[in-house]
Structure 1
Amino acid sequence: MTTLGVVFRPQNPPERLRSVARAADEAGLEELWLWEDCFLESGIATAAAALAWTDRLAVGIGLLPVPLRNVAVLGMEAATLQRLFPDRLLLTLGHGVQDWMGQVGARVDSPLTLLREHVEALRALLAGETVTTSGRYVKLDKVKLDYPPVGATRVYAGATGPKTRALACEVADGILLTAGTPPEEVAAVRPMAKAVTVYVHAATGPDGEARMARELEFWGESNKSDIAAVGGAADIAAVVNRYKDAGADAVILQPTADEPDLEGFARFTAREVRALVS
Structure 2
Amino acid sequence: MQIGYFLSCEEYAPESLIQQARWAEEAGFESLWISDHFHPWTDEQGQSPFVWSMIGAISQVTSLPVTTAVTCPTVRIHPAIVAQAAATSAVLTEGRFILGIGSGEALNEHVTGARWPATGTRLDMLRESVEVMRALWQGDFVDHHGEHYTVENARLYTLPDTPPPVYVSAFGDKAATLAGEIGDGLVTIPPDADLIRTFRDSGGAGKPVHAGYKVCWGPDAAACVSTVRSMWPNDALPGELAQQLSSPKHFEQAGQLVTEQMIDESVACGDDVDRHLDAFRPYVEAGVDVVHVDQMGGKRQGSELEGFFAFYRDEMLPRMRELAG
TM-score by length of 2: 0.73
User: Structure 1 residues 103, 70: closer, same or farther in 2, change over 3 A?
Assistant: closer
Alpha-carbon shift at residue 60 of structure 1 (Å) = 2.0
CA deviations on 1:62-99 (whole Å, 9 max, x unpaired) are: 11222122222222222122122213222212222125
Backbone CA RMSD of aligned residues: 2.9
Q: Tell me which structure has the larger Cα radius of gyration.
A: 2
User: Structure 1 residues 191, 223: closer, same or farther in 2, change over 3 A?
Assistant: farther
| 1:62 and 2:78 aligned | no
Alignment partner of 2:56 out of 35, 44, 48: 48
User: Structure 1 residues 136, 173: closer, same or farther in 2, change over 3 A?
Assistant: same
Cα distance in 1 between the residues matched to 2:307 and 2:131: 39
Is the CA contact 1:23–1:267 (under 8 Å) kept in the aligned structure 2?
Answer: no
* Match of residue 2 from structure 2: 3
Q: Give the secondary-structure state (helix, strand or coil) at the position aligned to 1:92.
A: strand
Amino acid at match of 1:121: V
* Match of residue 145 from structure 2: 134
Alignment partner of 2:200 out of 191, 194, 206: 191
Q: Which protein is richer in strand relative to its size? A: 1
Amino acid at match of 1:240: F
Amino acid at match of 1:248: V
User: Structure 1 residues 77, 100: closer, same or farther in 2, change over 3 A?
Assistant: closer
Is the CA contact 2:65–2:93 (under 8 Å) kept in the aligned structure 1?
Answer: no
User: Structure 1 residues 107, 30: closer, same or farther in 2, change over 3 A?
Assistant: farther
For structure 2, list consecutive stretches of 5 or more residues without a partner in the other structure: 40-47, 238-260
User: Structure 1 residues 187, 94: closer, same or farther in 2, change over 3 A?
Assistant: closer
For structure 1, list consecutive stretches of 5 or more residues without a partner in the other structure: none
Q: What is the aligned residue count?
A: 274
User: Structure 1 residues 220, 23: closer, same or farther in 2, change over 3 A?
Assistant: closer
Identity %: 26
* Match of residue 30 from structure 1: 30
User: Structure 1 residues 270, 48: closer, same or farther in 2, change over 3 A?
Assistant: farther
Is the CA contact 1:211–1:258 (under 8 Å) kept in the aligned structure 2?
Answer: no
Deviates more, 1:13-22 or 1:43-52: 13-22
Q: Give the secondary-structure state (helix, strand or coil) at the position aligned to 2:147.
A: coil
User: Structure 1 residues 68, 197: closer, same or farther in 2, change over 3 A?
Assistant: same
| 1:262 and 2:271 aligned | no
Q: Which protein is richer in helix relative to its size? A: 2
CA deviations on 1:210-247 (whole Å, 9 max, x unpaired) are: 52474475433665998644544444234324312211
Is the CA contact 1:36–1:42 (under 8 Å) kept in the aligned structure 2?
Answer: yes
User: Structure 1 residues 263, 148: closer, same or farther in 2, change over 3 A?
Assistant: same
